[in-house]
Every structure is written in structure tokens, then in C-alpha cells.
Amino acid sequence: MTNEQKKQVRDALVRYVQKFETQTRAAESLEGVGISTISQVKHNNWELISDRLWHNIARQVGFYCGEWQPADTSAHLLLRILFSDAQHYAMTYGIAIGEGLGKTFTATRYVRENDHTYYLAGNKEHNRRTFITALLHAAGIAAKGTMPEMIQAFTDHIGNREESLVIVDDAEKLKDRVLHLLVFLVNSLSGNSGMVMLGGDQLRTRIIEGVRMKKTGFEEIYKSIWQRFITLGYPGPKDVELVCRANGVYDEAIINHIKEESKGNLHAATLLIQEANGMRRAA
């Protein structure tokens, strides 16, 4: 990750922290990011921060949410429509999006731009207690008490917000029992809040296979999303070009090079666009 990219991640982190009452509360909402790391990033003490940790921070707070501009790619437009629909009509959706189409960027940006919206990245290490704790932290609520008390605190907080939305990203990483808890929350918030289970095609395959094998709780999970997944597996033909132009790359030769090198993966295209812009500024 370049220094320019790190500066953008730092700016995104600063904006993220400002949403919380304290820096400690913000740190508690992030997986694998302590308060000391937040302080180091904010004050440009980057020597001991690994690229892996930079990418972890970037993913959770919204990479390039400062200078980086969104483009109306097929996935971006679809996701924003579905997020808005879920939020305003208290709907529950299961969405399976192909890798490299910008689902996390779109989700985190939507949450930053809309009130009463909450984002949580799935983690394979979560058990039921750590999952509800992370959800409480994402909502800016102190996690305390028994499991039933924490669940009640979360549902009361979210249910009292007009037109609220919870987005759980990378939901395929969650253990079965945590998915069951998520469905319990969906049922508890029915009619009061929207919920989106967002992930890759592994999420769709896992749920449908679980139903077929009659695994405990999977029928309930599938019913909670109206027994269907909304899927988008491939980039649109102009997606990379749209991202290029939205972020200052207009030269047709460079755009074609980025399209060929990235093969439609917007993560790869992002880095190539950054390189192109960096060379242009240095020229």
C-alpha cells in the first residue's frame, strides 16, 4: 500500500471515529484494531503498522472514502437500490456479489451517508456473544449484561430508530449458530428495521445446501430472506471505465490498459488507477 493510499485510509478512519462518543468506543467497533493503532494511524506513526493491518482498517472504515469517488457501476447501483429499499421498507435481503465488484466500498459508503444505518464485517472467529457485542459497538452502545440483555439492548435501540438498516458483510464467514442469532434479530426487528446479509457466492451456496441437507436452522435462515438470493456475479462491460473516469483517468489508452490488467476486478482497477494518477501528478 502506497503512502498516498495510507493517507486516504487515515482520513477515512478519522471520519469513522468521529461518529462515536469516544475513540475507545470506536476501537471496540473494529475487528483487530486497538485504540493504540488508531492513535498511531491518526498521528502518522506508521512504521510498525503492517500492510495487512492497513488493509484491515481500510476495509472496515471505507477505503478511499475521501478523494476516491464512486462510479455508477452495475453492482454499486444495484446495492444502493437494495440498501435503500431495505432501509425504507424494513425488508430483509440476502445478496451474493462476485469478488472485486466493490460491495464493501458501497456498503460502508452507504452507511456513512445515511442516518440510522449500521455496518458490521463478518468474522469467522465470532461466537454469539462476540457477534452481538460487535453489533452493539457498531451502533455505539456499551456492551454489558447477559446475552438476552445485550440482544434486547440492540433490538430496542435499532427498533426505536425510524427507517434503520443493519448490513452484515461477508456473512458467509459466520458460524451456523451466529447465523441463527442473526435470523432471531431479523424476526425481532420485523417491520421496524431493514437487514441485509451480504456476501459472496459462498453465502448463497452454503444456505441453499444447508436447506437441502435439512441442517438445523437453515430453513429459517432461507425464509428470512424470502427464500431467494439476489445475485450479481460479473462486472458490467463499462464498470472499470466508469471508475476510471470518476477518479480522473480519461486517457483511452490508460483506461484500456487498466481494463485488461484488472480483468474487471475493481480492487485491482483501484490500485492501477491510483498508480496512473500518481504518475500523472509526478510528471
The domain spanning residue 88 has which CATH number? 3.40.50.300
**pLDDT tens figures, 214-244:** 999 999 999 999 889 999 888 889 999 999 9
- Predicted structure pTM score: 0.77
If asked whether residues 201 and 255 sit together in one domain, one would say: no
Tell me the mean pLDDT in the region 25-48.
90
If asked whether residues 248 and 272 sit together in one domain, one would say: yes
Per-residue model confidence (pLDDT) at position 283 = 46
Assess whether pLDDT exceeds 60 at residue 43: yes
* Strands of the 92-97 sheet, one edge to the other: 117-121, 164-169, 193-199, 92-97, 230-232
65 or 22: which leads in pLDDT: 22
Per-residue model confidence (pLDDT) at position 62 = 63
| CATH classification at residue 52 | 1.10.260
230-232/193-199 β-pairing: unpaired
Tell me the mean pLDDT in the region 148-169.
94
Percent of the chain with pLDDT over 70: 95
Cα–Cα distances (Å) from 71 to 59, 167, 210, in that order, read 18, 21, 36
If asked whether residues 223 and 84 sit together in one domain, one would say: yes
**pLDDT tens figures, 60-78:** 876 554 457 889 999 999 9
Tell me the mean pLDDT in the region 176-194.
93
If asked whether residues 87 and 224 sit together in one domain, one would say: yes
Among 232, 251, 272, which residue terminates a domain? 232
If asked whether residues 32 and 88 sit together in one domain, one would say: no
85 lies in which domain range?
74-232
Torsion over CA: 82, 83, 87, 93 (sign): positive
Assess whether pLDDT exceeds 60 at residue 143: yes
When the pLDDT of each residue in the chain is averaged and rounded to a whole number, the result is 89
φ, ψ dihedrals at 92, nearest 5° = -120, 125
d(CA 101, CA 82): 15
If asked whether residues 201 and 226 sit together in one domain, one would say: yes
d(CA 255, CA 240): 8
Q: How confident is the model at residue 279 (pLDDT cuts 50, 70, 90)?
A: low
For 44: left if phi > 0, alpha if psi spans -120 to 50, otherwise beta; the answer is left
Per-residue model confidence (pLDDT) at position 6 = 86
Per-residue model confidence (pLDDT) at position 253 = 95
Per-residue model confidence (pLDDT) at position 225 = 92
Per-residue model confidence (pLDDT) at position 63 = 58
If asked whether residues 104 and 42 sit together in one domain, one would say: no
95 or 283: which leads in pLDDT: 95
Among 40, 68, 96, which residue terminates a domain? 68
If asked whether residues 59 and 171 sit together in one domain, one would say: no
Torsion over CA: 36, 37, 41, 46 (sign): positive
If asked whether residues 47 and 60 sit together in one domain, one would say: yes
